[in-house]
Amino acid sequence: MINYQDLPQVFSEKLTKSNAMLERANNVLVSFVTTGPYRAPANVTFVKRAQGSRVWDVDGNEYLDVTMGYGPLILGHAHPIVVEAAQQAVADGTTYAIAHEHEVHMAELMVDAIPCADKVLFCNSGTEATMYAIRIARATSGKTKVATFEMGWHGPHDYGLIGSMLSEGKGPASAPLPSTDCSGVSERVAEESIKLAFDCEESLQRIRELKDEIAVVIIEAMPSAYPLQMQSFLKRLREVTTECGVLLMFDEVVTGFRCAYGGAQEKFGVVPDLAAFGKAMGGGMPVGAVVGTNQAMSSIVSSGDPVQDAMERKVVAIGTFSGNPVTTRVGAAVVEHLRDNPSIYRDMDALTAQVKTELNAFAKDKEIPFELLGDNSWFMPYMGDKPFQHARHCHDENHVMRNIMLCNYLRYMGVYFPDMHTGFFSAAHNQTDAEFFVDTCKTALLELRAQNLL
Ligand code: PMP
């Protein structure tokens, strides 16, 4: 094994073609990967192709991938079902802007699967879905303020960049203050936002106090910054929002079709008024959807004429590619496969539980600051000095530094784990992959310890 300090040299030899491409990318792109690595890896790898649980870079290096496109690839890379559906769909025309059956079929599948879904609005990303859901909630409720949880993530529209997981948090931890995360976001948006703390009684009290102003409370049923369950808090949140007449929206962009076929709302038995979906429902195609009860969605049920809708002060949420035939056809094929093969969920959950148990016992035994947080089929190594207890711990300096070192070592050894991000298992990951993942993590942690870096 090599010293951590020597990795840049080793990578520069392993990644010659990637490095050449990085130079080209930096000349023309604002970021070398537009999907945006949460933290850019020190050594940038350009992917050539991917299959199942593996990716290969342009230099021919193979990696066990747990990035899984940040979540959409629930069946793994290039699953035959996805490839076939996409090929057939493309051959029949890529987009129509005329009604077609596949959109209807996909919506029927979602209404059948998701407890809160009476109606579906398709769009092209999770970001669009949460953006539209906010507008729908405001129009339905007649109220303005948007309550979100500190350290959450709903995509980078203006409301998504108020106290998100990109910021370290402002104000008291139990009653955070809303502030803009980057320039270009209007301060007005911060004024119209309320920040709450995950899993915290004070958040419920603040909803009671501000109920006449809050249009919607938006929560990730499991935070994407740290996948941990908070079922009893969700139940309390549902009770309090119902009692206060405030709409509750789940951001199920990650949890949808991943936590369970019916999403986190099925898994935890808590049904919101609205939910945003994306990622897994498209099996890798760019997709988003807002679903909700007839009542919550009443403000967006369209006359079919956006001019008429606007005149009637209905919500307008139209788009050239929304509900397009390729996405909905691939999405429907993936969702039907998940519906017909419930063992996929059992298997992915079991693999996660196994790697969590093994790695956490190992770290405890060796007294290494490492804990694999996770649930269902997603996980995140937490490496702070103290056990993870609060959302703000995501920004613990030692955790950040050690996580980046670990991911760098893992890539050197053939596991692609994105820096400072959750990893995912898919239906394509098997027992051998899980064992390789565990062994590689153990070796990397021991190496870092031996070099006094942990
Ligand atoms: N909500 C959550 C919970 C997410 O994790 C993400 C993406 N990581 C989004 C919304 C935004 O989705 P997209 O990147 O598809 O716009």
Give pLDDT, residue 42. Answer: 81
Domains of the chain: 4-77+342-450 (3.90.1150.10), 80-340 (3.40.640.10)
Give pLDDT, residue 306. Answer: 85
pLDDT digits (tens, 9 = 90+) for 386-414: 999 888 999 999 999 999 999 999 999 99
Q: Give 184 Cα–ligand 1 centroid separation in angstroms.
A: 20
Q: Give 296 Cα–ligand 1 centroid separation in angstroms.
A: 22
Which is nearest to 281 in space by CA: 430, 121, 51, 131?
121
Q: Give 226 Cα–ligand 1 centroid separation in angstroms.
A: 14
Atom of ligand 1 nearest to the CA of 35: 14
For ligand 1, pick from 154, 159, 252, 255 the residue to mutate: most ligand atoms within 8 Å of CB.
154
- pLDDT over threshold 80, residue 36: no
pLDDT (mean) for 70-94? 98
Which is nearest to 34 in space by CA: 62, 69, 75, 64?
69
Give pLDDT, residue 41. Answer: 82
Asked whether 280 and 113 are in contact (CB, 8 A), the reply is: no
Predicted model pTM: 0.97
For ligand 1, pick from 226, 279, 322 the residue to mutate: most ligand atoms within 8 Å of CB.
279
Q: Give 155 Cα–ligand 1 centroid separation in angstroms.
A: 5
Record the tokens describing residue 342, joined without a space.
Answer: 């419930």
436 vs 236: CA distance, rounded Å: 40
pLDDT (mean) for 11-18? 94
- Residues 294-307, buried b or exposed e (16+ Cβ, 10 A)? eebbebbeeeeeee
pLDDT digits (tens, 9 = 90+) for 181-219: 999 999 999 999 999 999 999 999 999 999 999 999 999
Asked whether 451 and 3 are in contact (CB, 8 A), the reply is: yes
Give pLDDT, residue 1. Answer: 75
Give pLDDT, residue 186. Answer: 96
Mean residue pLDDT of the chain comes to 96
Atom of ligand 1 nearest to the CA of 71: 8
pLDDT digits (tens, 9 = 90+) for 129-157: 999 999 999 999 999 999 999 999 999 99
For ligand 1, pick from 218, 224, 228 the residue to mutate: most ligand atoms within 8 Å of CB.
224
Atom of ligand 1 nearest to the CA of 288: 15
For ligand 1, pick from 253, 277, 285 the residue to mutate: most ligand atoms within 8 Å of CB.
253
Q: Give 254 Cα–ligand 1 centroid separation in angstroms.
A: 7
Which is nearest to 254 in space by CA: 291, 292, 288?
288
- pLDDT over threshold 90, residue 37: no
Q: Give 329 Cα–ligand 1 centroid separation in angstroms.
A: 21
pLDDT digits (tens, 9 = 90+) for 216-240: 999 999 998 888 899 999 999 999 9
Q: Give 154 Cα–ligand 1 centroid separation in angstroms.
A: 5
Atom of ligand 1 nearest to the CA of 128: 16
pLDDT digits (tens, 9 = 90+) for 286-331: 999 999 999 999 999 888 888 998 899 999 999 999 999 999 999 9
Where residue 2 falls among pLDDT bands split at 50, 70, 90?
confident
Atom of ligand 1 nearest to the CA of 126: 12
* H or E segment and range at residue 54: strand 54-57
Q: Give 15 Cα–ligand 1 centroid separation in angstroms.
A: 30
The amino acid present at 403, given as its one-letter code, is N
Nearest CA to ligand 1 atom 7: 155
Asked whether 369 and 402 are in contact (CB, 8 A), the reply is: yes
Nearest CA to ligand 1 atom 12: 126
List Cα–Cα distances, 427 to 45, 72, 281, 408, in angstroms.
Answer: 24, 12, 14, 25
pLDDT (mean) for 34-48? 83
pLDDT digits (tens, 9 = 90+) for 233-276: 999 999 999 999 999 999 999 999 999 999 999 999 999 999 99
List Cα–Cα distances, 341 to 153, 200, 389, in angstroms.
Answer: 30, 37, 35
With a Cβ cut-off of 6 Å, ligand 1 is lined by 70, 125-127, 130, 153-155, 220, 224, 251, 253-254, 278
Give pLDDT, residue 32. Answer: 85
Q: Give 439 Cα–ligand 1 centroid separation in angstroms.
A: 31
Give pLDDT, residue 283. Answer: 94
Give pLDDT, residue 45. Answer: 93
290 vs 218: CA distance, rounded Å: 13
Q: Give 276 Cα–ligand 1 centroid separation in angstroms.
A: 9
Q: Give 385 Cα–ligand 1 centroid separation in angstroms.
A: 29
- pLDDT over threshold 80, residue 39: no
- pLDDT over threshold 90, residue 432: yes
For CA atoms 75, 119, 303, 314, the dihedral sign is: negative
